[in-house]
C-alpha cells in the first residue's frame, strides 16, 4: 500500500517522555536511536524534548548521537513552557547553545529546528513570533473548545520569516481532555481557511476512532484525522462530512491501494495525499512509535518493503 507510505512518511514525532508511556530519558533516547536504525524509520519524525530537560538529554544521548555526517542527524522539537510564562530570551539562548554544541560531530550531531508552545491569546503568539531569533519552526498549541479562528488568524498574520503552525491536542489521560469531533473539524476547517498547517498531539495511538476501556471514552484515530484534513484541504469534504469522518469507527470504511486512499465516497490519489501532507497535516506526536505500526500491519495496509 504505497499510498499509506506517502500518508505516513515522517509523521510520528516520538514523545516517549510523556503520558501514558512516561518513560525516563535513558529509555526514551535508546528507543529513538533504535527507531532511527529500524526498517520503519521512514515513519519517524522528531524527538520531543522539553527545553528544561536538554542537559539531561545530552547526558543520556551522549553515546548514541551520530558522530559522522554519514549518519542521520537527530532532529528535535523543543517543548517550551506556556507563552504566558516563558522567559523567551533564556529559552532561545539555551536552544542556540545546544545547536552550537551539536553542530560539531565530536559532540554528537543533533539539531533543534522546531519549538512547541501553548498559547491562548493572540498577543502571546505575537510575542513569541517577534522574539524568535533563530528562524525556528514554531508550533502553537491552541485551545479549540471555543472558536479558534482568532488565534489561527494570529498565526496566519505572522510577520516573520520563520514558519508558524498550529498544534492541536487530540487526547489526554481523562475523557474530558479528548476534543469532540465537531470542535476538531472546526479547527481543521479554520486552519485550512487561513492556510495554516498543523500538527496533532496525544491520543493518536491507533488508526481508527474507538472506545478505550482504560480511558473510559472514545479516542481519535490518526487515519480519521489525516483523511479528514486532506479532504478539507482539497475541498472534498463539507463540515458535516468531516465530522462524520472523524466519528467513523468502522475500519473497513477506509480503503487503500497503491494510488488511492478512500473513505466512503471520498477518494484521494497519491498526488493529493502528498500535497496535503506537505502543506497541511504535518505530523502527530505519540508516546509510542510501535503501536501505530502494529495496528497498520494488523489492518493489512502497512507498505511493503
pLDDT digits over 194-242, tens only? Answer: 999 999 999 998 999 999 888 889 999 999 999 999 999 999 999 999 9
Looking at residues 2-20, what average pLDDT do you find?
96
pLDDT band (50, 70, 90) for residue 178: very high
Within 8 A by CB and 6+ apart from 241, the residues are: 231, 266
Quick check: 159 pLDDT over 80?
Answer: no
Residue-level pLDDT at 122: 95
pLDDT band (50, 70, 90) for residue 136: very high
Looking at residues 145-159, what average pLDDT do you find?
92
Residue-level pLDDT at 17: 98
Residue-level pLDDT at 115: 97
Within 8 A by CB and 6+ apart from 145, the residues are: 179, 183
pLDDT band (50, 70, 90) for residue 285: very high
Measured CA to CA, the distance from residue 204 to residue 224 in angstroms comes to 10
Please tell me which residue, 214 or 26, carries the higher pLDDT value.
Answer: 26
User: Cβ distance 1 to 258 under 8 Å?
Assistant: yes
Domains delineated in the chain: 2-296 (3.20.20)
Quick check: 155 pLDDT over 80?
Answer: yes
Give the CA distances from residue 38 to residues 60, 277, 284, 299, in Å, rounded to whole numbers and listed in that order: 20, 23, 19, 21
Quick check: 131 pLDDT over 70?
Answer: yes
Residue-level pLDDT at 265: 94
Residue-level pLDDT at 214: 85
- Cell numbers found for residue 29: 533516547
Report pLDDT digits (tens) over 263-279: 999 999 999 999 999 99
Secondary structure class of 45 (helix, strand, coil): strand
Measured CA to CA, the distance from residue 178 to residue 210 in angstroms comes to 12
Please report where in the chains the cell 498577543 appears, as a residue.
123
Quick check: 65 pLDDT over 70?
Answer: yes
Counting every residue written for the chain, the total comes to: 305
Measured CA to CA, the distance from residue 13 to residue 288 in angstroms comes to 9
pLDDT band (50, 70, 90) for residue 305: low
Residue-level pLDDT at 13: 98
Of the listed ranges 27-41, 148-162, 227-241, 289-303, the one predicted with least confidence? 148-162
> By percentage, how much of the chain surpasses pLDDT 90?
87
Measured CA to CA, the distance from residue 109 to residue 106 in angstroms comes to 8
pLDDT band (50, 70, 90) for residue 71: confident
Quick check: 45 pLDDT over 80?
Answer: yes
Amino acid at each position: 500500500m504505497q499510498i499509506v507510505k506517502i500518508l505516513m512518511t515522517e509523521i510520528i514525532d516520538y514523545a516517549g517522555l510523556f503520558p501514558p508511556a512516561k518513560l525516563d530519558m535513558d529509555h526514551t533516547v535508546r528507543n529513538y536511536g533504535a527507531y532511527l536504525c529500524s526498517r520503519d524509520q521512514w515513519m519517524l519524525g522528531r524527538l520531543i524534548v522539553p527545553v528544561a530537560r536538554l542537559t539531561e538529554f545530552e547526558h543520556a544521548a551522549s553515546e548514541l548521537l551520530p558522530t559522522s555526517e554519514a549518519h542521520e542527524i537527530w532532529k528535535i522539537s523543543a517543548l517550551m513552557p506556556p507563552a504566558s510564562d516563558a522567559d523567551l530570551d533564556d529559552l532561545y539562548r539555551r536552544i542556540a547553545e545546544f545547536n552550537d554544541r551539536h553542530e560539531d560531530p565530536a559532540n554528537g550531531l543533533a539539531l533543534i529546528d522546531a519549538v512547541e508552545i501553548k498559547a491562548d491569546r493572540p498577543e502571546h503568539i505575537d510575542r513569541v513570533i517577534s522574539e524568535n531569533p533563530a528562524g525556528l519552526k514554531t508550533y502553537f498549541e491552541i485551545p479549540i473548545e471555543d472558536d479558534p479562528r482568532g488565534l489561527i488568524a494570529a498565526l496566519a498574520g505572522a510577520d516573520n520569516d520563520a514558519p508558524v503552525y498550529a498544534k492541536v491536542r487530540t487526547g489526554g489521560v481523562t475523557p474530558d481532555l479528548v476534543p469532540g469531533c465537531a470542535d476538531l473539524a472546526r479547527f481543521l476547517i479554520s486552519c485550512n481557511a487561513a492556510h495554516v498547517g498543523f500538527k496533532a498531539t496525544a491520543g493518536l495511538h491507533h488508526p481508527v476512532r474507538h472506545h478505550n476501556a482504560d480511558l473510559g471514552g472514545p479516542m481519535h484515530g490518526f487515519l480519521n484525522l489525516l483523511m479528514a484534513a486532506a479532504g478539507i484541504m482539497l475541498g472534498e469534504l463539507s463540515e458535516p462530512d468531516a465530522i462524520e469522518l472523524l466519528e467513523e469507527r468502522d475500519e473497513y470504511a477506509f480503503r487503500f491501494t497503491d494510488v488511492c486512499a478512500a473513505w466512503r465516497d471520498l477518494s484521494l490519489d497519491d498526488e493529493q495525499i502528498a500535497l496535503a501532507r506537505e502543506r497541511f497535516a504535518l505530523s502527530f506526536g505519540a508516546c509510542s512509535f510501535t503501536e501505530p505500526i502494529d495496528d497498520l500491519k494488523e489492518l493489512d495496509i502497512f507498505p511493503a518493503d
